[in-house]
């Protein structure tokens, strides 16, 4: 059994986003906030459902960022698709930077490994992008 509050996004976060968009003089009814909460949750289910259907058809077990971008375009939400593609690239760059900083931290402890890692890094970046996706599948 899943509790209803856990099934939805937190209403406080939803209300905060709405307040930032609307002018300060505007008011929001409680019913409108709850409706937005429901709609946001349904949006998530809608997009991820489409992406997971695509993965099932292609016999894949893991949904990735490209599937989400495709789903947004397929569902007629092109406005979001373009921005989300950009976010995806930024996120992957950030992950690469994190991975390289972690490698540097481990290399500091062992200077011998530094030489090897510097040689390997030239060939490894594509693998590093796959690593985060492989780790966190649950």
Contact footprint for other proteins (CB under 8 A): 2, 6-10, 13-14, 16-18, 21-22, 25-29, 31-32, 35-36, 38-49, 51-52, 55, 61-65, 67-69, 72, 75-77, 79-80, 83-84, 87-88, 91-92, 95, 98, 132-133, 135-138
Classify residue 105 by its DSSP letter: H
Contacts of 66 (CB under 8 A, 6+ apart): 88
Looking at the Cβ atoms of 7 and 116, the one nearer to other proteins is 7
- In the three-class reduction of DSSP (H, G, I as helix; E, B as strand; rest coil), residue 45 is classed as helix
Looking at the Cβ atoms of 28 and 108, the one nearer to other proteins is 28
- Answer positive or negative: Cα dihedral of 123, 107, 137, 88: negative
CB of 119 to other proteins, least distance (A): 27
Looking at the Cβ atoms of 73 and 114, the one nearer to other proteins is 73
Looking at the Cβ atoms of 27 and 123, the one nearer to other proteins is 27
- 136: which 2 tokens? 């966190």
CB of 85 to other proteins, least distance (A): 9
Q: Are 105 and 76 in contact (CB under 8 A)?
A: no
CB of 8 to other proteins, least distance (A): 8
Separation CA 78–CA 96 (nearest Å): 27
């Amino acid at each position: 059994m899943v509790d209803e509050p856990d099934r939805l996004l937190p209403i406080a976060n939803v209300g905060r986003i709405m307040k930032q968009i609307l002018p300060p003089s505007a008011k929001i009814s409680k019913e409108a906030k709850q409706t937005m909460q429901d709609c946001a949750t349904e949006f998530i289910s809608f997009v991820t459902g489409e992406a997971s259907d695509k993965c099932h058809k292609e016999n894949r077990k893991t949904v990735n960022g490209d599937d989400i971008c495709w789903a947004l375009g397929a569902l007629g939400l092109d406005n979001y698709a373009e921005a989300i593609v950009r976010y995806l690239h930024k996120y992957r760059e950030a992950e690469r930077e994190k991975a390289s900083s972690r490698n540097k931290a481990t290399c500091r402890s062992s200077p011998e490994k530094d030489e090897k890692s510097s040689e390997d890094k030239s060939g490894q970046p594509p693998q590093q992008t796959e690593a985060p996706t492989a780790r966190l599948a649950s």
